[in-house]
Amino acid sequence: MAMANNKTQCFTCNKEKITYPCKGCSKEFCLMDLTEHQRILSDELNLITNEYNEFKQRINEQKQNPQNDLLIKQIDEWEANSIEIIQQKAQQCRKIAMGCLPTFFNNIEKKFNDLSEQIIHQRFLLKKIHNHLLMKFQLFHQENIKKKSKFRSRLILFFIKIFCFHHLLESNFNKWKQNAIVVAGGNGQGQHLNQLFFPYGIFIDKKKNIFIADYGNNRIVEWKCNAKEGQIIAGGNQIDQLYRPTGMIVDQQNHSIITAHFWDNKVIRWMNQNQQILIDNIDCSRLTMDKNGFLYVSDWARNEVRRWKMEEYNNEGVVVAGGNGKGNHLNQLNDPTCIFVDEDQSVYISDHDNNRVMKWRKDAKEGTIVAGGNGQGRNLNQLHYPEGLFVDDLGQIYVADCWNHRVMRWCEGKEDGEIVVGGNSRGNQLNQLNHPSGLYFDDERNLYVADRDNHRIQKFEIVL
């Protein structure tokens, strides 16, 4: 450092003294403060040197033992945590799979048995057809074309076999055309015979005639296949006759209809426009009947489903689902609407305000969630006010996802469903729905949807 010839202010003590500049920081210090300043700089340099040596030693150690690096340790920890999460998920999937497999195998076994019976029957029919064709060929063909006749007979038999087995397998197709055909209504809201007003429940008979609970018109109407208008078969005259029907059962053998009345608190049987009150003082939403003739009714106010034995409607029935107050626990329901009963008398319920579908096995104390149950929404694992309900022979659950304007299909045990038809936002185009409330399948697996706020019934044809 060079000595200064005049007095200046020391940077540290701020006094006028002979000072010396520090070339490193370009500041002036008196002799005493300069010595201290140099000591501080020396200590800082020693500290930096020590940290540098420690860092260099650590780098050398990590070069020799890279597995001890902090990043490697973090990766190891992430790996262990990920494996644990995967193992937990795998265990959950195993439980779900183990729970579903018995039902799946039972359904498959039943399908194989049914298919075997159908094959035996088809073989019998094919033999009869073959014999009939041979007889025809023998009668109407001349002797000189017998060889040609036999060839044609075998060829026809071959095509008949293809047709019959195709017919057996076509029920396994599970896709539908996305543009529907309007088969009832579709002429705006109204009470004319070619109009509907908020159709709710529907039923399709073997001739593809459509029975409709025409809620807003206080009537049940029947639309013959390919008809341009319907005919009133119950109600339609006075409000006190049939008020706001939401669901129905069509008993074609007895030529009667059983209707559920949402606002009238009654279940009524109709025969030739004559009515008989079966159940009174019940806040019924929908109803159905199982193969044994038991009647099931969903009670939206009591949040339960009750069952009545055929022709014994003068008692309170038996609670088969819910009945534990309004709630979202597995033993509760919240505004149950549509119901479906399978071959095992398991009851499926559209748990409307819980945005889920519940399955209650026979004599169970609580149900299981088989669709939705993940809050209100439009994701594939959610529903928004479900209504119409149908379960096929394979246990696949079809539900009218009313406020999402779509029909969904769930396989029991799966987290997500899939969109069958609709789902193209709310609208009145042929690929759109507007609050679908009911659904039904005919014998050919065509799908019919009560497109409520479009005042029409849509038919979605199966893709063959």
Q: What is the mean pLDDT of each run of 10 residues along the chain (464 residues)?
A: 63 86 84 85 85 80 70 80 87 82 76 65 54 56 51 53 44 77 96 95 93 93 94 76 87 84 85 85 92 93 93 87 96 96 95 97 95 96 96 92 97 90 96 96 95 97 88
Q: Which part of the chain has CATH 2.120.10.30?
A: 177-463
For the stretch 417-461, pLDDT in tens is 999 999 999 999 999 999 999 999 999 999 999 999 999 999 999
Distance separating alpha carbons of residues 423 and 378, to the nearest angstrom: 9
CB proximity list for 219: less than 8 A, separation 6 or greater: 232, 234, 235, 236, 242, 245
pLDDT 10s digits, 166-182: 444 443 447 999 999 99
458: burial class by Cβ within 10 Å (0-12, 13-18, 19+)? buried
Predicted local confidence at residue 2, as pLDDT: 44
Cα gap 345→329, rounded to integer Å: 22
Q: What are phi and psi of 38, to 5 degrees?
A: -65, -35
The pLDDT score that the predictor gives to residue 167 is 43
pLDDT of residue 114: 65
Contact assessment for residue 401 and residue 435, using Cβ atoms and an 8 Å cutoff: no
Q: Which helix (H) or strand (E) holds 390?
A: strand 386-391
Q: Record the tokens describing residue 373, joined without a space.
A: 């149950």
According to the model, what pLDDT value does residue 173 have?
A: 43
Which CATH entry fits the domain spanning 177-463: 3.20.20.70, 1.10.10.60, 2.120.10.30, 3.40.50.300? Answer: 2.120.10.30
Measured at the CA of 59, the angle between CA 54 and CA 62, to 5 degrees, comes to 125
387-415: burial string, b at 16+ Cβ within 10 Å, e else: bbbbbeeebbbbbbbbbbbbbbbbbbbbe
For tokens 């088809």, the residue is 122
User: In angstroms, rounded to a whole number, what is the distance separating the alpha carbons of residues 338 and 202?
Assistant: 12
Tell which residue, 220, 177, 122, has the closest CA to residue 211. 220
